[in-house]
Amino acid sequence: MSKSRRSERMVVITRLLSQKPHTLFSLNFFSRMFNVAKSTISEDLNIMRETCEKWGIGELTTVPGAAGGVKFIPRLSREETEELVDFLQQELSREERILPGGYLYMADLIYNPQIVGKAGRLLATIFQDKKPDYIVTVETKGIPLALMTATAFNVPLVIIRANNKVTEGSAVSINYVSGSTKRIQSMSLARRALPPDSKVIIIDDFMKAGGTARGMQDLLQEFRAETLAIGVMVATAEPKDKLVSNYISILDLVSVDTDKKEVKIVPGKWYSQ
Please, where in the chain does CATH 3.40.50.2020 lie? 78-272
- CA-based nearest residue to 33, from 50, 10, 49, 67: 10
What is the fold of 78-272?
Rossmann fold (3.40.50)
What's the pLDDT at 182?
A: 75
22 conformational bin, left if phi > 0, alpha if psi -120 to 50, beta if neither? left
Burial class (CB in 10 A: 0-12, 13-18, 19+), 168: middle
CA distances from 156 to 135, 147, 215, 228, 239 (A): 6, 8, 21, 15, 32
Domain 6-74: CATH architecture, name and number where available: Orthogonal Bundle (1.10)
pTM: 0.93
Residue pair 2/35 in contact (Cβ under 8 Å)? The answer is yes
Mapped onto helix, strand or coil, the DSSP state of residue 219 is: helix
Per-residue pLDDT of the chain (273 residues; tens, 9 = 90+): 566 899 999 999 999 999 999 999 999 999 999 999 999 999 999 999 999 999 988 999 988 887 789 999 999 999 999 999 999 999 999 999 999 877 899 999 999 999 999 999 999 999 999 999 999 999 989 999 999 999 999 999 999 998 877 788 899 999 998 766 678 999 999 999 999 999 999 999 999 999 999 999 999 999 999 999 999 999 999 999 999 988 999 999 999 998 899 999 999 999 987
Please, where in the chain does CATH 1.10.10.10 lie? 6-74
d(Cα 2, Cα 262) in Å, to the nearest integer?
A: 64
